[in-house]
Amino acid sequence: MRPPSFPSYRARRLRNPLLRDLIAETSLEPGKLIAPLFVTLGGRKKLEVPSMPGVFRLSVEEAAAEAKLLAKLGVGGVLLFGIPPRKDLTGSGAFAGNGVVQQALKAVKRSVKDLLVMTDVCLCEYTAHGHCGIVTNGDVDNDATLEVLARTALSHARAGADFVAPSAMMDGQVGLIRAALDREGFSSVGIMGYSAKYASALYGPFREAVESAPKFGDRRGYQMDPRNAEEALREVALDIQEGADIVMVKPAISSLDLIRAVKRRFHWPTAAFSVSGEYALIKAAAARGWVEEKRLVLELLTSIRRAGADLIITYYAKQLAQWLRKRGGS
């Protein structure tokens, strides 16, 4: 189709404030957002993460209360991350029957029925060295790690998880977890794959929050090189073949091209994780009065949706739900 040109077409006619909402192509509702929650055992009930103002490490009880509030605000779901009391070489806290995430799952499910509860499945919060898997001879052992990830996912399913989200970037993790869940009678528990996860400088505040910075080396042996986009599409294809119900791209703002490409190519439910560093950047600039926080957050999250994300995992979920509630639409 050849569009008409000026003066028969005047683009500004459609920018009339009476029309803007009617012709808007993208929407941003709390129901499209997932709020990450950091849960800890013992210690203070609520402890702010220094590099993430407004984000807290919560006790199990506080997490349950927070989930209830989020559900009331219309937020689509929560994604639980655990901070265990002890770390060891095998990450055994990850699959402990009474581990932090397992306790949080039970408490959240008791306190709120109509909220999707997802869990992050990885070992870096639970290993003494901070790597996402079992380390043998100085390297993360893929296949040994798979067993532990499957065990962890199963323990989450038993504690009530609706969805598990493996984030370790081990080859075959989605397939092995799917098989384990099915074998144990959890065929209705879903999997959101952290399919295309880049080795990014934007995870720093998260690692501060859960004390998971690797003690040696870095994560480039398993997380993706930011220079690669075709590799990301292969990763997504593999996760879909292995049984991922939702695929995810992470970080969000630096991967808008991929969000678009993934949605176009696979027509699969697609999530974007707007990570801790994205949150921290906005907070830091807003604290100095250098950007308008609310406008910027609305613009960036809308752009992630416009790129093609169906759902967004964001630390701004609660704040955004509160803003949208007051203003009604964006």
Q: In the complex, which residues of this chain contact Zn ion (CB under 5 A)?
A: 122, 124, 132
Report strand pairing: 135-136 vs 139-140. antiparallel
Query: What is the contact mask toward ligand PBG in residues 240 to 279, using x (rule: CB under 6 A)?
Result: -----------------------------------xx---
From ligand PBG, Zn ion, none, interface partner of 151 (C-beta below 5 to 8 A by class): none
Count the neighbouring beta carbons within 10 Å of the beta carbon of residue 27.
Answer: 12
CB-wise, 59 or 276, nearer to ligand PBG?
276
Binding residues for ligand PBG, rule CB under 6 A, total 11
- By beta-carbon proximity to ligand PBG, the closer residue of 78 and 132 is 132
CB nearer to ligand PBG: pick between 120 and 162: 120
Active site residue 250: yes
Phi/psi at 111 (nearest 5 deg)? -85, -25
**Residue 203 interacts with, from Zn ion, ligand PBG, none (CB under 5-8 Å by kind):** ligand PBG
Q: Which of residues 50-109 bind ligand PBG (CB under 6 A)?
A: none
Stretch of residues binding ligand PBG (CB under 6 A), selected from 181-189, 200-208, 299-307, 318-326: 200-208
Instruction: State in angstroms the smallest separation of the CB of 294 from Zn ion.
Output: 32
Q: Which of 95, 126, 206, 316 binds ligand PBG (CB under 6 A)?
A: 206
* Active-site annotation holder among 197, 263, 283, 318: 197
Place of tokens 């055992």: 41
The answer to whether 207 contacts ligand PBG (rule: CB under 6 A) is yes
User: What is the distance between the alpha carbons of residues 203 and 257, in angstroms, rounded to a whole number?
Assistant: 20
Q: How far is the CB of 92 from ligand PBG (least distance, A)?
A: 17
Burial class (CB in 10 A: 0-12, 13-18, 19+), 178: buried
Shortest Å, Cβ 36 to ligand PBG: 6
Nearer to ligand PBG, 196 or 330 (CB): 196
Q: Are 39 and 66 in contact (CB under 8 A)?
A: no
**Binding window for ligand PBG (CB under 6 A); candidates: 7-15, 133-141, 199-207, 297-305:** 199-207
Cβ-based nearer residue to ligand PBG, 87 or 219: 219
105-136 b/e with 16+ CB inside 10 Å = b?
bbbbbebbeebbbbbbbbbbbbbebbbbbbbe
CA dihedral of residues 316, 26, 72, 65 (deg, nearest 10)? -30
Residue 198 in contact with ligand PBG, rule: CB under 6 A: no
Respond yes or no: is residue 109 known to be catalytic.
no
Q: Does 122 bind ligand PBG (CB under 6 A)?
A: yes
In the bound complex, what is the minimum distance in angstroms from residue 130's beta carbon to ligand PBG?
9
Structure tokens at 157: 């399913």
Nearer to ligand PBG, 195 or 330 (CB): 195
Handedness of CA 164, 170, 175, 180 (dihedral sign): negative
Query: For ligand PBG, which residue of 65, 67, 105, 132 counts as binding (CB under 6 A)?
Result: 132
Backbone angles phi, psi at 52, to 5 degrees: -135, 70
Binding site for ligand PBG (CB under 6 A): 120, 122, 124, 132, 167, 203, 206-207, 219, 275-276
> What residues act catalytically?
197, 250
